[in-house]
Structure 1
Amino acid sequence: MPRTPEQYEAMRLATRTKIQTAAMQLFVRQGYGSTNVQHIADQAGISTGLLYRHYKTKDQLFEELVQFAMAGLETLIVKFQTSDEPAEELARFANEVYLDLSSGDDLGHLLLLMTQSFFSTETDGWKAALKQIHTDLLQATAELIIQGQRQGKLREGNAFEMAQYFFSSIQGLAMMKMMLEEKFSMPSRSLLTLVFEKEGETL
């Protein structure tokens, strides 16, 4: 019985996801320069011919992964900019980060991929885009913290410095998770938001 167009599309998407997952793991663990198309195909369990049907070059695959990560940050920025519950919004995000870093590798891979892309790319426009989205994220987070301070729900202090500390902590944990692998132990959830919390209160 021939497959339906829907079945073919599901197969195509499944293969594409396998390629992306394999590439993400290899780019993060052994570096972009040390990863070639054959490595990615082997990791995904497919032929190089099938991989080339989905991506013409390794660069195209790498850029798509970075764009996916950036789109996730753009969504987070909008969420922070439109929230009227700053303390609750930061707590929800911290919970997501804690669960992602505790139970899987996806978030860590995405964060490290963007860092890697910033230092490995030779395109000034691409670097500028990465720098801008991180600047926008820190600014949106700082404004959210200021809103929470005005509501009396968050600790007083320099909001931009708090935002930098918060995301630096997340980035550092992602790096430690990749380096230590099974020896990594995720710190308690409460430590993630300690920088924002008022004394005697928890988010």
Structure 2
Amino acid sequence: MPRTKEQFEEMRKATREKIHASAMRLFVHQGYGSTNVQDIADTAGISIGLLYRHYKTKEKLFHELLAYAMEGLQRNITFFDDSEQSPKKLITEFVDEVHSDLSHGEDLANLLILINQSLLAQAGTASEPYKEILQVNARLLDSTAQLIRKGQQLGEFRSGDAQEMAVFFYASIHGLAEMKVLLKGNFTVPSPSVITAFLFKERE
């Protein structure tokens, strides 16, 4: 029986997800320059011809991964800016999701490292992707700092410079991503309560 249009679309989506996961893993572990399209195809378990049907060049694949990462950061900004929930609840939900992703897979860790690699590789340039990543990161920090200020006003968060606390918060998450990649099976994700200990006020 011929496959339906929906079945073809599901297969296409599954293939692209395999390509994304394989490319991220290889870019992170052996570097962008040392990874070729054959490596990506082999790791994804597909033919190189099939990979080329989805991505004509390694550069286009890399830029799509970065765009995907930027969409994730933008969703976080929207989540923090548009929700009516308490700041503590929002941060708790966010950290719980990060903890789950770091505990059960590599995709989040690889995405975060990929963003850092891209920033370092393009540092000092005036390229549009570089400027876009910097702008989105700055908006995320500002959005998180504003959320922290609100939490401080409500008595949920510890006192301190909200911008500095936002920087420390994301530096911790990025550091955990790097440790996960470096330590592999020896890595244990700290509990959400440890990750947020510097931020939340202790119960009286």
TM-score range, shorter chain: over 0.9
Q: Which runs of 5+ in 1 are unaligned?
A: none
Q: What amino acid sits opposite 1:89 in the alignment?
A: L
Q: TM-score, normalised by structure 2?
A: 0.94
Range with greater deviation from structure 2 (114-123 or 171-180)? 114-123
Q: Secondary structure at the match of 2:12?
A: helix
CA root-mean-square deviation = 1.3
- Give the paired residue count: 201
Counterpart residue number, 1:136:
139
Counterpart residue number, 2:10:
10
> Shift in Å at residue 49 of structure 1?
0.9
Q: What amino acid sits opposite 1:181 in the alignment?
A: K
Q: Does 1:111 align with 2:112?
A: yes
Shift >6 Å, 4+ stretches:
none
2: CA distance, partners of 1:188 / 1:10: 35
CA deviation string 1:25-83 (max 9, x = no partner): 11111111110001001111111111100001000000001100110100100111123
Q: Which runs of 5+ in 2 are unaligned?
A: none
Alignment of 1:29-178 (within 5 A): 29-84=29-84, 85-121=86-122, 124-178=127-181
> Shift in Å at residue 118 of structure 1?
1.3
Q: What amino acid sits opposite 1:146 in the alignment?
A: R
2: CA distance, partners of 1:161 / 1:123: 27
Q: What amino acid sits opposite 1:105 in the alignment?
A: E
> Shift in Å at residue 123 of structure 1?
5.7
Counterpart residue number, 1:197:
200
Counterpart residue number, 1:25:
25
Counterpart residue number, 1:179:
182
> Shift in Å at residue 153 of structure 1?
1.2
